[in-house]
Amino acid sequence: MTRQLRLALRAYGVGGPGQHSLWKDPRVPKNASIDIDWYIAQAVAAEHARFDALFIVDSQFIDATYPPHYLNRLEPLTLLSAVATHTRNIGLVGTLSSTYNSPFNVARRFASLDHISGGRAGWNVVTSFDTGTSRNYGLDEHLDYATRYGRALEHVQVVRGLWDSYEDDAFPASGDVFLDPSKLHSLDHVGEHFRVDGPLNISRSPQGQPVIFQAGVSEEGRNLAAHVAEGIYAPGGSLADSRAYYSDIKRRAAALGRDPSHVVIFLGAQPVVASTDEEAHRLSREIFEADNDFSRKLAQFGRAFGAHDFSVYDLDAPFPDVAHLAEKSGRTRGASIVSRAATVGLSLRETVLEFTRYQPSPFTGSPSTVASAITSWFSAEAFDGLNVGFRTNDDLSAFVSDVVPLLQKSGLFRTEYAHDTLRGHLGLPIPANRWSVAS
């Protein structure tokens, strides 16, 4: 089998989106989102199952309506550096905004994580979804889409340039020579968004450079992903939607002269596993109903529209004219909501219910049913891997103990790590240092 399934674990604590009540579950520590031992335990369990990576999502704006996990959580790279010292193989992917961080700082922090972990770091590049983030960084307004994505592309290019500051053999550390100065290079970058001299004060790691991840849904996001992403977090949806996204991203990458197999697409998923299909679907419905609170869903609905307060409207009046509010926030989702509401003639109440209705994961059922569904979607080229999330450690354990062995038995998933870097796990080449190539 030429393609191998990839698995990443998306770790939340006391409840991410759609899980506002998870903190009430007695199996979940009330401080899980800031408990490093909780994350370490999850990472160790995933590593024991030979997962490719642990993924930490992040954002930098909240209000009181946000999910509990968002209200009180650890900063990703600090968290992953601690996890790195308790694991040996699993990749460590953290989210940092290209809009609200400088390239030099990002390059240094991820290079440090890459060394701490022995070559297992990955950067999930985001342009920041929440418009309120701007006011936490001294700006009156969030940057528009074109500016954010143009800045993101240049940001990644600068960071990669800084990661090449030292050639691989720059430190002979022999006799009286610690550094060969001819192997140290300034970047001297002057662009539209950044001016960065360099060089970076840290060498390349065993994997050359951290792996670049991205989650592109909009046209700008897909283009950015095609240009720079080596791993992609896909939005999910139906099998047809997932296949279309997969094909589109691979096509865009190939058109830019890239090897499509070096763009690894992870589909977001929350498998629900039980002893029988019936029990799993009952549990899935139970999970949905635990957070099926309309006022909470109404509050969260505003995220795509710049944290807009929809409670000020008549719920049974037509969906309000708020399309302009999504222009600098969740434009793709916002446009979809506005279009659907206008086409069908939905009220605000009906729109919220339409976009938050119960939709069980396609990976719901007994272990054999879930393994079969994963195999089917993978074979249909809907994804290269799954970025899985679970409500509790018990749910993770069920997947690891009951589903993963079936995937391994079929030859779809590894039984042992063949590599000790994230690039190795994902089948990605080590980037050649630009200065070595030039010479």
Record: fold of 6-277+362-438? TIM Barrel (3.20.20)
Question: Over the stretch 149-166, which tens digit does the pLDDT of each residue have?
Answer: 999 999 999 999 999 999
pLDDT confidence of residue 140: 82
Residue 345 has pLDDT above 80, yes or no: yes
pLDDT at res. 439: 65
By DSSP bridging, strand 211-214 and strand 264-269 are: unpaired
pTM: 0.94
- Report, as an integer, the average pLDDT of 23-37: 95
* Most confident range, picked from 9-13, 15-19, 76-80: 76-80
CB-based burial of residue 52 (10 Å sphere; 0-12 exposed, 13-18 middle, 19+ buried)?
Answer: buried
Lowest mean pLDDT among 43-57, 81-95, 316-330, 394-408: 316-330
CB atoms near residue 160 (< 10 Å): 18
Under the banding of pLDDT at 50, 70 and 90, the label for residue 136 is confident
- Look over the chain and give the mean of its residue pLDDT values, rounded to a whole number: 93
Instruction: Measure the CA dihedral 368/369/375/378, to 10°.
Output: -150
Q: Could you give the percent of the chain with pLDDT greater than 90?
A: 76
User: What is the residue extent of each domain of the chain?
Assistant: 6-277+362-438, 293-355
Considering only CA atoms, which of 309, 288, 409, 414 is closest in space to residue 357?
Answer: 288
- Give the pLDDT score at 392: 93
Confidence (pLDDT) at 277: 98
- What pLDDT, on the 0 to 100 scale, is given for residue 1? 47
pLDDT tens digits, 268-320? 999 999 999 999 999 999 999 988 889 888 888 877 787 788 999 999 999 98
Q: What pLDDT, on a 0 to 100 scale, did the predictor assign at position 231?
A: 98
- Tell me what pLDDT residue 296 has: 86
Q: Give me the pLDDT at residue 328, please.
A: 65
Asked if the model's pLDDT at residue 178 lies above 60, the reply is yes
Helices 76-84 & 103-116 angle (0-180, nearest 10): 20
39-53, 127-141, 305-319 — most confident range: 39-53
What is the per-residue pLDDT for 63? 87
In the predicted structure, residue 326 carries a pLDDT above the cut 80: no
Per-residue pLDDT, 227: 96
User: What's the pLDDT tens digit per position in 360-401?
Assistant: 999 999 999 999 999 999 999 999 999 999 999 999 999 999
Residues 143 and 146: their CA atoms lie apart, in Å, by: 8
Q: Among residues 68, 65, 64, which one has the least CA distance to residue 16? A: 68
Say yes or no to pLDDT of 215 above 50. Answer: yes
The pLDDT value given to residue 316 = 94
